[in-house]
Structure 1
Amino acid sequence: MSREAEQRHAGMRLIEGGTFLMGSEAFYPEEAPVRRVRVDSFWIDETPVTNFQFAAFIEATGYVTVAEVAPDPKDYPGMIPGMDRAGSLVFQKTSGPVDMADASNWWRFTFGACWKHPLGPGSDLAGLEDHPVVHVAYPDAEAYATWAGKCLPTEAEFEFAARGGLDGQDYAWGSELAPDGRMMANYWQGLFPFANQCLDGWERTSPVRSFPPNGHGVYDMIGNTWEWTSDWWTAKPMPPKAKRSCCPIDNPRGGRLRESFDPDHPGVRIGRKVIKGGSHLCAANYCQRYRPAARHPEMVDTATSHIGFRCVVRG
């Protein structure tokens, strides 16, 4: 390996290519069906990109994130007057039970919130240098990856790495969420969104490497923050032509842009990417997506206090 390659692979783990069972039929319909998938070998960051690492990228390039730019009302038909200001979504714990069908009960679009002000104006990154960077939209993650000479993982690559060699298990560490009461990842213990027991020790994000690595020696692929993948969202992840195939699906690359639009918002033509891994806000009573098979759509222009990313190198 050349010196340049060694530098690029620093802090990464080699995931040897192979075949695995992708998806699940035990939790949410968008994860089904379980299908055999083959991926080539690739390198993946041991941890999500941290605030320290992202700050180095910003210093080197002068890049301005999506959350730091005021949205153009022309791109958002029906925008509420006065909302055309820079900011991002910040989670706010509620004082008691709320309507779980309305996420606006716990999400607040906070003017001035961004990667360096994670809770809004007046907040900073002091003590959070080794936490995953958040408030990064998809273009921000892609820009960092390009700068680092890397790219973002596909959904299949992420899931293969997250499973850590435990094929067919619900969790990245086995069949139990908390074996013998041990917390294996940063997720919400208690009743979301108002009662977090913090058995894992953290109310929000946690420092990377706070929990055991999986079988591949990779950290935080479950919980802590959701992570961007490069695949466009599709509610039916299995290609139609593969339904009756006896052979593994080879290096799947997800859906197509036009299929990724949110049908609940037909006037908004902004694509959605697949995010994986769950976050510190996933809970048993709300979002059991602290699993390798879990997947969720997110608009590429969206930045929140619970989405981050990591990179891969292929070849």
Structure 2
Amino acid sequence: MKPNKIFIKAFFLIVFSCFLSNGQKAQSLYAFNIEADEDTINIAYNLVGQRPDDVYKVDIFVSGNNGQAFDIIPTTIVGDVGYGVKSGVKKKMQWQPLEDSVQLIGDDYIFKISARLLGGRDSIEFAEIPGGTFIMGNNFEEGRSDENYPHKVNLDPFLIGVYEITNIQFSNFLYRYESAEVKSGEYVGQPMIFEHEKGLKNYTRKAGQSGGWAPQKGYEYHPVVNVTWYGANEFCKYYGYRLPTEAEWEYAARELGDTIRFGNGKNLASPTEINFNGHIDYKTKYSKAGENRQYATRIASFPPNKLELFDMSGNVWEWCQDWYASNYYFNSITDNPTGPWFGETKSIRGGSWHNTPVDIRVTDRSFLPPHMGSGDVGFRVVKQLVK
């Protein structure tokens, strides 16, 4: 029989702060307090980042042998822990060790807390996606006509961006590229970006010059919006990347082709876990009602899927490489499909903050002319792996 109380003789706390790749300290963890209240361990801490909108993954580990091994993982802990913890003071966690079949008796216990900054780098972070075969298209018999033709697809391995491209990343590109229009090739002269109150602003206001393009204050690490397909495509070409095909995007969003509805790996959409229009009027059998934020949130504000890809459903639509055709699934090739040869609109996937639950399903398809931007459309990148 399990004891109904825990006994703690002494606690010791080790704290590890995370660092950015250039060695710059990413945040400070301090003002810790650990108290035992019968069956519950209460942990309080402060987490201060470089920016007020910094987001972290906070983990806690426990050693029962004075730090030789941190092999006790508190799986039932709740509070400011896990993905999406924002910087701030008076953060709290609560853990009931007995629910994890752990008795804290003695003085050899050491607690270790770590905080990893999410999406706060100017460089692009990738996840490796192994090649494989999956059935592309809607498998729940509840989608629209352009997705309701499940068909077999084989894909080669690839790398995909963990996060949507941010305002700071795209403004850095414009600074180096020295133009807000495509400078050469078949799309020369096409617009790449338009100003947006939560995106980029051209402070020089000189047509064709980009030196003054910068993120609106406080939106540096929000997804870039009002970017055209031409802009997303040119960004990719400049850095040696490309946009994902619809097939690659769906394969990654569905966690290697699993039968799931949403890009966080779940079949029920909740506004506390995905940024979409959660108004009660749009509630479905596969969604919960809740907040309708009406804007794109900072990247990594919500938990990722099991491939650690963030915001594959909601937040902003994402440009794909393919031209869009509503009947393409009936004519698609099996191996590494790239869409129709030509068209008038480009495919976008994932839904956005503006959309209802039906639009943020991972099999839902939509489209937009390549010269247009929108306040709820951005992109992420793909890098081909050498066979």
Residue 189 in structure 1 maps to residue 286 in structure 2 = no
**Alignment partner, residue 176 of structure 1:** 268
Give the structure with higher Rg (CA).
2
**Alignment partner, residue 46 of structure 1:** 162
The code of the aligned residue for 1:274 comes to S
Q: Structure 1 residue 32: deviation in Å?
A: 1.6
Higher helix content, 1 or 2: 1
**DSSP-derived class of the 1:238 partner:** helix
Distance 1:166 1:142, change over 3 A: closer
Residue 279 in structure 1 maps to residue 352 in structure 2 = yes
Q: Structure 1 residue 174: deviation in Å?
A: 2.3
The code of the aligned residue for 1:224 comes to N
Q: Deviations over 1:72-113 (max 9, x none)?
A: xxx9xxxxxxxxxx996xxxxxxxxxxxxxxxxxxxxxxx65
**Alignment partner, residue 64 of structure 1:** 180
**DSSP-derived class of the 1:48 partner:** coil
Q: Structure 1 residue 166: deviation in Å?
A: 5.9
Q: Deviations over 1:232-272 (max 9, x none)?
A: 11111224386xxxxxx211111131xx3xxxxxxxxxx21
Counterpart among 137, 140, 143 of residue 27 in structure 1: 143
Distance 1:57 1:240, change over 3 A: closer
Stretches of structure 1 lacking an aligned partner (at least 5 in a row): 1-8, 67-74, 76-85, 89-111, 243-248, 261-270
**Alignment partner, residue 137 of structure 1:** 228
The code of the aligned residue for 2:362 comes to P
Q: Give, in whole Å, the separation in 2 of the partners of 1:174 and 1:255.
A: 30
**Alignment partner, residue 252 of structure 1:** 337
Q: TM-score when scaled to structure 2?
A: 0.56
Q: Would the aligned equivalents of 1:171 and 1:292 in 2 still touch at CA under 8 Å?
A: yes
Q: Deviations over 1:185-243 (max 9, x none)?
A: 110111689xxx9945833000100011111111111110001001011111224386x
Q: Would the aligned equivalents of 1:132 and 1:208 in 2 still touch at CA under 8 Å?
A: yes
Higher relative contact order (CA 8 A, sep 6+): 1
Across the two proteins, how many residue pairs are aligned to each other?
A: 237
Q: After the TM superposition, which residues 96-175 of structure 1 pair with which residues of structure 2 at under 5 Å, given as runs?
A: 113=196, 115-117=199-201, 125-165=216-256, 167-172=258-263, 173-175=265-267
Q: Give, in whole Å, the separation in 2 of the partners of 1:192 and 1:140.
A: 35
The code of the aligned residue for 1:31 comes to E
Distance 1:187 1:201, change over 3 A: closer
Q: Structure 1 residue 169: deviation in Å?
A: 1.8
**Percent of aligned pairs with the same amino acid:** 29
Q: Would the aligned equivalents of 2:316 and 2:353 in 1 still touch at CA under 8 Å?
A: yes
CA RMSD in angstroms, aligned pairs only: 3.1
Counterpart among 308, 319, 341 of residue 217 in structure 1: 308
